[in-house]
Structures are given as structure tokens and as C-alpha cells.
């Protein structure tokens, strides 16, 4: 808010009072402001580009997130299919084992009967005669057919088991591949977000630094302009006073030139101060703009001028003039609405560069500098030179 200017420090007791800042000084200060404005503009463009990249990265992150969600679903499906196939494989293995046992039992039975009915002796030797033999042939054929079906069933069960085993292995591989893809996508999302944060933080830091440098340069320019204007006004006043004195000494008409003089207690009322302070507080958040006096933006003296105008007191739009537009009051007797002034050299009012409005409890409302807004600040600062209570 209040920035010391190394080129304007010092006291009258330590060295002769310097002359006002030259036009070259003002041009140099203006050049530095323009240079810092250019730097801030460049930083703003970089930040704008970073914001554009941020939007693109957000879009990419959203796409990656959707792919991640799809991969999770695919992995869940693969897991479910794998579990179902595993259950089918268990059933197929049980069926294959059962059919294998039946084939083994059939083979053992065939071995015990030596292959069943197959010789003429069976016809002759059968006590039941040819009919019984024919019936025996039918039974043998049935047994043979059942054996073939049993073997075929066993082969089919083994084939099904092999198919389910292969399917389960494929599903397991798919599940593992989906898990790897899922992890890769998650890493890609995390990396994109980290890059996004780093770029934005770096660009914001650069823009903030550029804004601070511009504020410093503008504060110095304002202080130089105020000091030059105050010094030139003082010189003009001194010249007029000298001319008046010469006129008197030459026998001309009596003339005197006096600086404004205010009797203590002649300032505005406490009620007027409350009105001015309350109005100034209602402007909090509006931007600082050099030379502005509302309604949408203010500089420091523009804010105090408008605030006191609402309380019925007219002030000029310049800190140097507002310094003499009412009685000076001790800091321990401040009341709401009083103006507090800041200078680069607290022993020299011509170096005043900032003014705020006291609102109580050691705080003021003020419009500090470019890039800031009307806000509340503490009045305590080494550059505080004094206070004035505006007079009607």
C-alpha cells in the first residue's frame, strides 16, 4: 500500500531541501510504468494461454476418466465371466470324471464276460433254446450301443472341459490386461493434472510478480507527481508573497498572502464524519484507477473527495490540497471520517503520496494502488505524516 521511495528520503535538518522532481524524473518514472505495464500484459497473455491449456487438459482428463470408467466396467465383466466359466469348468470336469468311471466299469464288465454272446455254442448250450439266444443277441446289441454312447459322452465331456478351460484362460488374460490398462489410465490422469497445476501456478506467480512491480512503479510515479505539484505550488505562493512584500516596501497598497489557517475544532461534525466513512465503506471492492473519482473506480484522493461530498463538504481531487483543507488533528483524537496522510518524507508534506479515511479502531478505508481495490487497511505505517478533519 505505502511504498518508500529511496530517491526522496531524508530530512531538512540533514541536508538542504531538494528542489522538486524534474520533468526528466517524471518521464523516467512514466517510462518505468509503461515498461512494467508491458511486462504485466505479457504475463497476462501467458496466464491466458495457460488457462486455455488448462481447459484442454480438463477435456483430456475427462476423456481419460471416461475411458477409465469403461475399463473398470470391462474388468468387472471379465471377472464375472471368468467366475461363471470357472463354475462351468468344474461341472464339466465332474461330468468327464463320472463318464470316465462308467467307461472303466463297462470295460471291466466286458473283460469278465469275455466279450458277451458270440458263438454257436451259446445257441446249443442255452437251456432255454433259440428264443433265449435271440433275446441274448438283443441284449448284447443294447449293451454294445450303450457302450458306444458312453464313450461318446465321455469324449464330449472331455471336449467341453477343454473348451471351458481355454475360455477361462482367455478371460483371465483379458481381466489382467484390463487391470493393466486401468492402472495406466489412472497414471495418465494423475500426470495430466500435475502438469496442469504446475503450469497454472507458475503463470500466476509470474503475473502476480509483474503486478507488484507495476504497483511499485505507479506509486513512485504518483509520489513524484505529487511532490512536483506541491513544490511548484509552494514556489508560486512564495513568489506571490515576495511580490506583496515588495509592493509594501515600495509604498504600494498593503497586501498579504497567507497560507490557509484553521482553528482547532473548526472541522466537520462527527455526524458528517460518520456519513463520509459509511459511504466510503460502501465502495469496498471497486478497483483502483489512476485519476478516477467514481462511480465505478477510484484513486485515493478521488475516494475521499466523493465520500466527503456525500457529507456536504467539498474537497479538491489531490492529496496535497486535501492536506490543507481542514484543521490537523492529533492521531490520538481521530474520529471517523478524518483523513490520514502518508509521505515518503514525514518531515516534508510536499512528499505526501497517499490518503485514506479513518473508520475507527486503528483502521482506514482507502484505494491503495493499481491492481488493488477499495479495501480496509491499518493506519499504522512508518510513512504516516498526520491527519486532517475536513472543514465545511
78-99 confidence digits (pLDDT tens): 778 778 887 877 887 788 788 7
pLDDT 10s digits, 188-222: 877 877 877 787 878 888 888 888 888 888 888 88
CB 147 within 8 A of CB 54: no
Chain centroid offset of residue 113 CA:
91
Q: Are the beta carbons of 351 and 226 closer than 8 angstroms?
A: yes
| Whether the predicted pLDDT of 6 surpasses 90 | no
Q: Confidence class of residue 129 from pLDDT cuts 50, 70 and 90?
A: low
User: Can you give the length of the chain in residues?
Assistant: 392
Give the domain ranges of the chain.
60-207, 264-392
Residue 376 has pLDDT above 70, yes or no: yes
Q: What class does CATH assign to 60-207?
A: mainly alpha
**pLDDT tens-digit profile of 171-188?**
778 877 877 887 787 788
Q: What is the pLDDT of residue 19?
A: 58
Q: Mean pLDDT lowest for which of 98-107, 134-143, 173-182, 337-346?
A: 134-143
Provide the 10 A C-beta neighbour count for residue 185. 19
Mean pLDDT estimate for the chain = 77
Pick the residue with more confidence: 375 or 146? 375
Work out the number of other CB atoms within 10 angstroms of the CB of residue 104: 11
**Does the domain spanning 264-392 belong to CATH 3.40.50.11810?**
no
Amino acid at each position: 500500500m505505502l511504498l518508500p521511495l529511496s530517491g526522496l528520503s531524508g530530512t531538512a535538518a540533514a541536508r538542504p531541501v531538494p528542489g522538486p522532481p524534474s520533468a526528466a524524473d517524471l518521464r523516467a518514472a512514466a517510462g518505468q510504468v509503461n515498461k512494467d505495464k508491458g511486462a504485466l500484459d505479457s504475463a497476462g497473455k501467458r496466464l491466458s494461454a495457460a488457462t486455455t491449456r488448462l481447459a484442454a487438459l480438463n477435456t483430456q482428463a475427462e476423456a481419460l476418466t471416461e475411458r477409465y470408467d469403461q475399463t473398470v466396467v470391462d474388468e468387472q465383466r471379465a471377472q464375472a465371466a471368468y467366475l461363471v466359466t470357472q463354475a462351468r469348468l468344474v461341472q464339466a470336469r465332474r461330468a468327464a470324471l463320472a463318464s470316465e468311471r462308467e467307461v472303466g466299469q463297462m470295460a471291466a464288465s466286458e473283460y469278465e464276460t469275455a466279450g458277451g454272446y458270440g458263438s454257436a455254442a451259446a445257441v446249443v448250450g442255452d437251456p432255454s433254446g433259440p428264443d433265449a439266444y435271440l433275446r441274448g443277441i438283443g441284449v448284447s446289441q443294447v449293451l454294445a450301443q450303450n457302450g458306444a454312447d458312453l464313450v461318446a459322452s465321455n469324449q464330449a465331456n472331455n471336449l467341453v472341459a477343454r473348451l471351458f478351460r481355454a475360455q477361462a484362460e482367455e478371460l483371465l488374460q483379458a481381466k489382467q490386461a484390463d487391470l493393466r490398462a486401468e492402472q495406466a489410465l489412472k497414471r495418465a490422469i494423475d500426470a495430466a493434472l500435475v502438469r496442469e497445476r504446475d503450469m497454472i501456478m507458475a503463470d500466476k506467480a509470474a503475473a502476480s510478480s509483474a503486478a507488484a512491480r507495476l504497483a511499485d512503479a505507479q506509486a513512485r510515479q504518483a509520489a513524484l507527481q505529487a511532490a512536483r505539484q506541491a513544490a511548484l505550488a509552494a514556489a508560486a505562493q512564495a513568489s506571490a508573497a515576495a511580490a506583496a512584500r515588495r509592493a509594501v516596501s515600495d509604498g504600494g497598497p498593503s497586501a498579504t498572502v497567507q497560507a490557509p489557517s484553521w482553528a482547532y475544532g473548526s472541522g466537520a461534525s462527527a455526524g458528517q464524519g460518520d456519513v463520509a466513512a459509511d459511504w466510503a465503506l460502501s465502495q469496498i471492492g471497486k478497483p483502483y484507477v489512476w485519476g478516477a473519482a467514481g462511480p465505478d473506480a477510484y484513486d485515493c484522493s478521488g475516494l475521499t473527495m466523493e465520500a466527503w461530498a456525500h457529507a456536504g463538504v467539498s474537497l479538491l481531487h489531490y492529496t496535497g490540497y486535501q492536506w490543507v483543507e481542514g484543521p490537523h488533528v492529533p492521531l490520538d483524537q481521530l474520529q471517523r471520517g478524518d483523513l490520514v496522510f502518508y509521505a515518503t518524507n514525514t518531515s516534508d508534506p510536499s512528499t505526501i503520496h497517499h490518503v485514506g479515511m479513518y473508520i475507527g479502531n486503528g483502521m482506514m478505508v482507502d484505494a491503495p494502488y493499481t491492481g488493488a481495490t477499495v479495501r480496509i487497511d491499518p493506519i499504522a505505517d512508518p510513512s504516516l505524516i498526520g491527519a486532517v478533519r475536513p472543514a465545511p
